[in-house]
A and B are shown apart, each in its own frame.
Chain A
Amino acid sequence: MDRFLYLTFDGLSRGAIYAAFALALVLIWRAARIVNFAQGAMAVAAAYAGYSVTNATGSYWLGFITAVAGGLLLGAAVERVVMRFVDHSSPLNGVVVALGLVLIIQGVLGMIYGNEFRPAQAPFSRDAFQIGGVALLSRYDLFVFAAVGTVVALLTLLFTRTPTGLRMRAAAFAPDVSRLLGVPVGGMLTLGWALAAAVGSLAGMLVVPTELGLHPNAMDLLFISAFTAAVLGGLDSPVGAVVGGLVVGLLLAYVSGYLGATVAPMAVLILLVVVLLGRPDGLFSKAKARTA
C-alpha cells in the first residue's frame, strides 16, 4: 500500500509534466491545426540554452528563465520563418516539415554539445520526504506541481479573461471573420506558437532532472507520452490534455513500479493504440473523426 501511494504521487508528478507538454501540443493544434512534431526537439534546444546559462552563471533559475524565454523565441521563429510558408492543403506537409526541424535541431545540438548525456541539476532535492513514516513526494515534485499549476492558471486567465486571449481564440476558430473584425490573425498565430513552445520548454526543463540528463534525443519519449496524453484528451481540449497527462503519468508510474522500467515505453504505445482505435475522439473532444 505504501508503495502504491508512493507510485501514485510519482505518477502525478510525471503526469503534471506530460500535461504541460500536452497542453503545448493542444495550443498549437487549436491555433494552426498542426501537431507540432518538433515540440520535443524545440524543448531540448531550449533546455540546452538553459543548461549553458546555468553552467556559465551557476544559477539554476537564470538557466530556467533562459530556457522558457528561449522556447518563446524559438516558437515564434519557427512559425514566422518556416511554418507560415508550408502549404497546408495536405496535413502531411506540416508534419513532414516539423520532422525536418527535428533533424535540424538535433543535428545542430549534437554539433554544439556532443551526443553524450549531460547531467542536469535539479533546483530542489528529489529525495522524498516522509509523511507519517511513508515516503510520498519530494520537494522537486512540489516544485513541478507548482510550476505546472501556475502555467495552467495563467493560460486559463489569458484565454478567458483578456482581449488577447479572445483574439487568439477567434483567430483560431474563424480566421477570415477575425481579420474583418480587425484581429491581426498572423500575429495571433505567432503568439500561439511562441506560448506553446514556452510551455513545452518549461515541461522539458522539468523532465530533464528526472531522466538520464540532457541529450539531443532526450525528449523523444516525452513527446510520445505527451502526444498520447493529448490524444487521450481529444487534442482539441486543454482540460483534456491536463487530465490525459495525469492519466499517462499514473499509468507509467504503476507500470514502471510493478513491471519494470523497460516495459513503460511499451505501455505508452499500447495505451495510444487503445485510445486511437477504441475511443477515436478522445475523452473530451467534440470533433468527429481522426481525419484532420
Chain B
Amino acid sequence: MSALLEVEGLTAGYGAAAVLHDVSLSVRTKQIVAVLGANGAGKTTLLRALSGLLPAERGRVVFDGLDLRGVKVERMVRHGIAHVPEGRGVVTELTVDENLRLGSLWRKPRPSNDGIYELFPALARRRDHLGHQLSGGERQMLAIGRALAAEPRLLLLDEPSLGLAPKITAQIMALLRDLRDRTGLAVLLVEQNVRSALSVADEGLVLSLGRVVSRNDAATLAGDADLRHAYLGF
C-alpha cells in the first residue's frame, strides 16, 4: 500500500547549523506514527520542515503524489495537511468560536463549528471566551479542534500532552485513535511522553540528534529495553 506522506533524506535546520540529517519516514492513511526522542532531538524541527515553516535544505517530501517542497505554508492546509504547533498555537486574542472559524475559513461553503463542538463539548460551553481565558487542556482541545475543522487527511501534532494532566492526555489520545478508525485520519505525533504516544501509535520512529536511529511498529519499540534506555529514558 502506498504511503500518504513519504519523506526521504530530509535535511533542514537554522542557518548553517542543520538540525535534521537525512530523515526518512512514511505515514499511511489511517495510521498514527509517533516521533519520539529526547529534548533537542529535532522532533519539532521535523514538523516545521514538513509544513514548510522551515525551508528544507535537501530531501524529498511527497504528500499523496504532490511534492510539498514547492508548496507555500498557507497552502498546506488546502492540500489536507494540518499542523498543530508546539505550545498549542491558539490565537489568545480571539474567542474560541473565532479560532475555530479560522480553521475552516478557506473552505467553500464554510462549515459550521457544530461538528467540532460535538467532539469537544467543553469548548461549546466556552465559545465566546477569549483564548487566553482557557485552561491548558481546553487550549489543546481548541487547537486540535481547529485543525480538524479543516478536515485534514494528515495531522501534524506537536506535543499535545505538554503540561496537561494525565487524564486529559489520555482523552486526547483516545480521540486520536477514534478519529483514525472512524475517518481514516493519518497522524504524525511528536511526543516526549513515550508511554502515551506508543499506547496509541501504530508505528514509531526515534530521533536522536536529528537522525532516525530506529523505526519500528509501536509494540516492538515499547518492548525494546535497550532502545528505551538509550534514547527515551525509561
**Residues on A close to B: CB < 8 A?**
163, 166-167, 169-170, 173-174, 176-185
Contact = CB atoms under 8 A, between A and B. Distances in A.
A169 B99 CA distance: 11
A186 B11 CA distance: 27
Contacts of B102: 166-167, 170, 178, 181, 183
Given A180-B51, A180-B76, A181-B77, A174 B105 contact: no
Given A182-B75, A182-B77, A182-B150, A177 B91 contact: yes
B177 interface: no
B225 interface: no
A121 to B, nearest CB: 43
Judged by DSSP, the binding face of A is helix
Given A166-B98, A173-B92, A179-B53, 6 more contacts: A169-B98, A174-B91, A177-B90, A178-B102, A182-B75, A182-B105
Nearest to B89: A177
B77 A169 contact: no
Interface string B83-110: 1010001111110001001110110001
Find the residue from A163, A177, A181, A184 having the highest chain B CB count within 10 A.
A181
A172 to B, nearest CB: 9
Nearest to A186: B74
A29 to B, nearest CB: 14
B73 A180 contact: yes
A179 B150 CA distance: 13
A181 B83 CA distance: 8
A169 B102 CA distance: 10
Counting contact residues on chain B (CB < 8 A from A), the size range is 20 to 34
B106 A182 contact: yes
B58 interface: no
B91 A170 contact: yes
B45 to A, nearest CB: 14
A22 to B, nearest CB: 21
A176 B102 CA distance: 13
Contacts of A177: 85, 89-91
Given A169-B94, A170-B94, A174-B91, A179 B105 contact: no
Contact of A166 (B82, B83, B105): B105
A230 to B, nearest CB: 19
Given A174-B89, A176-B53, A177-B89, A183 B105 contact: yes
A48 to B, nearest CB: 37
A148 B220 CA distance: 68
